[in-house]
Amino acid sequence: MIQVFIPLNALGFVYREMKRSLADVEAMFSILDIQPRVQDKANADDLPLNADGVRFHNVSFSYHGDRPILRNVSFVVSPGKKLAIVGSSGAGKSTIARLLFRFYDVTDGSITIGDVDIREVTQHSLRSHIGVVPQDTVLFNDTILENLRYGETGASQQAIESACDHAMLGGFIAALPNGYQTKVGERGLKVSGGEKQRIAIARTLLKKPRLFIFDEATSSLDTHTEKAINESLQTIAKNHTTLVIAHRLSTIIHCDEILVLDKGEVVEQGTHTQLMAQSGRYFSMWQMQHRSNT
Ligand code: ATP
């Protein structure tokens, strides 16, 4: 999972910085780094707007140089396809998302989007290209409207309402006394984990990224809402290259490919049907979840 730990005294700073200069939620991570871990190359170009498809080529990575977290991970997500990454806690799933977003550089190997090595392009253009719905979403002490659109400040009311409908937020907002103008956060309305997650989904949809990363994007939702949102996300992400990091296997059976990660290594790869037929790791995970759900 992508986790955000913000020291309390940094919140005001972060908020002001975001309001001042940031175009999207993910940039928050780079603000929180006192020393940027990765630097743009001198004269780095922007990632071409039409660059699509993701390739991890023999990627190895460790956070501190001593403990390998990913070992020789290779996969391809062709343009418009959906890849799900599953595996036990600590297997390295979110690390893959962080590397794609270039919070860190790979220790070995390479990551390309549309054949462009992500180390060759500006981080800003890379991060504008990718929309992340993280597991934990940070909301600011501001109105719902501002929380929704700060990633896309020029978004029209119509676009906002459409994104909210897809994220099943319309009813929630309509029921609030001040609708979109309702303040949320520490000094305003307290929202549940599921509502936050739906705000994060609407926010990402407004950004209209070329690639999506859903990091357990619907984990805080009840089963009914999760199912409805997943259907909606499937429609929206239909022609978009998408990485899904999932614990609940029932949410990813329709993905074009599933990668099973264990201790930083790809141990199985295939469609749901293929992996079930192998009676291996994925099959066992499926059986275990099925048993615990009954
Ligand atoms: P989960 O399903 O629990 O979210 P995950 O498969 O997404 O787990 P990662 O978050 O990618 O796992 O973490 C992989 C390993 O890397 C874990 O052992 C974790 O402790 C370690 N790790 C994650 N972030 C850091 C960090 N910033 N510094 C050092 N080690 C880290």
Of 44-48, 67-71, 232-236, the poorest mean pLDDT is in 232-236
Q: Calculate mean pLDDT across residues 64-72.
A: 91
The complex scores an ipTM of: 0.98
Q: Calculate mean pLDDT across residues 275-281.
A: 96
pLDDT (tens digit per residue) in 151-200: 778 889 999 999 999 888 989 999 998 999 999 877 778 888 888 888 88
Percent of the chain with pLDDT over 90: 48
Report residue 262: phi and psi, to 5°: -140, 125
Q: Calculate mean pLDDT across residues 3-25.
A: 43
What lies within 8 Å, CB to CB, of 208 at 6+ separation is 131, 152
pLDDT (tens digit per residue) in 214-249: 887 676 777 777 777 777 777 777 789 999 998 888
Cβ(93) – ligand 1 distance below 6 Å: yes
Rounded distance from Cα 264 to ligand 1 centre (Å): 10
**Ligand 1 pocket mutation pick from 1, 215, 262 by most atoms within 8 angstroms of CB:** 1
Report residue 184: phi and psi, to 5°: -120, 170
* Atom 27 of ligand 1, residue of closest alpha carbon: 63
Rounded distance from Cα 69 to ligand 1 centre (Å): 8
pTM of the full structure: 0.83
Residues, the chain, total?
A: 294
Torsion, CA 201, CA 184, CA 124, CA 6, rounded to 10: -110
Report residue 27: phi and psi, to 5°: -65, -20
Looking at residue 25, what is its pLDDT?
A: 43
Largest Cα separation within the chain, whole Å, is 57
Q: 10 Å Cβ neighbour count for 68?
A: 17
* Atom 2 of ligand 1, residue of closest alpha carbon: 89
Rounded distance from Cα 95 to ligand 1 centre (Å): 6
* Atom 3 of ligand 1, residue of closest alpha carbon: 89
